[in-house]
Structure 1
Amino acid sequence: MTRRVQYLQLVMSSFIGSSSYFPGDLLLTGTANYFQWHKILKDVCDEISPDLIPYLENGEISFIEGEDDATRKDAMRLLDRIINLVLRDAASGYVLRDVNRFNGTGRELYLHLRSIYGVITVPFAISIMYDLLTGAWKQNEGSTIDSLENAYDRVMINVAQRFSFETYNVIVYLAILKKEGLPVDEYIRAYHDIYGTGWEDFTLTNMQRIIHERINFPTQSIPVNPKTFVSKKVFKCFRCGEPGHLDRNCPAPQPLSHLKS
């Protein structure tokens, strides 16, 4: 048995009856505070063992002279049990219920939490920006105002790093429109109807065009990908009711009711 394995066994035994590494206001409550929580988690892991983060990220640990493969596997099993205990003591609310229902290794639990709460999507970024604009984050429960404000700031830093400058501008633009009461979710659905599930065409010009069409043609505009060069908009003449032309180009005789006799 190597010194590393002996040390990890001592760490495991220290968890019995120990208090949480995470104060109540730093427990994982959802995506909003994931990045702040993850920073604390990394500090905790580094304090426990320098092998924890490499194990979580890559499934590997450092080589130590004198350890054979069986001993290294013992060390990895201990690391996995340790991170499992840490994670199950680091969440609250519906995240804690998710953690308690999870059936897997400690590393699998870590990757599960990251995949659920550590992925920043465009709709989530818009909702965070909206909360910042309206001050809605101050009414959120489960954390102090100061820590939650720091969490939101950290999320916005990650938003700025995650998306291009163009996409970030659209996120801010839509958050402002949402604050003004416009149906932003409807505009995003229209974007997906036109461009698909990707975000490469999520530009200010394209979104403004979609919003303009929704405002000016709320019932007649059917989304179409402009790359197909095939228009699917259905226009009907207000004079004769036939599709294919507008009233100003209608071949039907004009009404004479406006003429004086």
Structure 2
Amino acid sequence: MRIMMLLCWGLVPCFVGAYHYGPGQAQLKLDEVDQKIKAAQAAGKQENWDQAVLLYNEALPLVPTERVKEAQKLRLERDKAMMLNGQLPDAYLDLQALLTELQSEPQPDAELVKETRSAMANAEYYVTWTLRLEGVGKEGWEPIIESARQNYRLLAENAALSGSEDEFTEQQENLEAVIRLASLDLTDLQGIPIPKQCQCKGCCNGVCNKQGKKKGKKKGTGEKKPKDNRGASSGPPPDKSGS
């Protein structure tokens, strides 16, 4: 019995070493990912988007390949931070790829698909606005704003089906804003400042729901300015960052 106990004690370092260089390494990576995500979230709260993007980019390669959903959620949060960091084109392209990837899965995560679709629609709105201001012809920006319209319409329909009145209202406002953007003359558009994105809780598409509520008139016309708010569920919600 005594010999057996001694043998067991002698094997303890072997088991510890095996764990450390096997499953232990995976756990260390997960701990590091968690630390970087928390640091990125903290940077986001300080509106230090450059640092947040850097930390998300450092965390992504550390996620084990088998943890696909965690990596997808991390990409979404990274893309949202990129949009707020002035990296709209890159964020838009990755959101497109991410949504396609999610929809191709046998059993897509409905909530993640919704958040990604909402973030992409938000990106499409801003890409369209930017392209129009840069003088790109209708053939260049119309397909993008049409995609945003379809995405917001689908989000509104799903919100109605789920019975979420607040979300339905938000998505309807998003849809109306997209339609207005597509129909505005370039001259009128040039006289309107691009709506600023924010991180207020409840501003689900990264556009402040509290701004742009006041009714205003464009110079020289009796028409109202389009609403600045289009937010609804995903891009970038501070309460879900890194989730």
Q: The TM-score by the shorter chain falls in which range? A: under 0.3
TM-score, reference length from structure 1: 0.26
TM-score, reference length from structure 2: 0.28
Which is higher, the Rg of structure 1 or of structure 2? 1
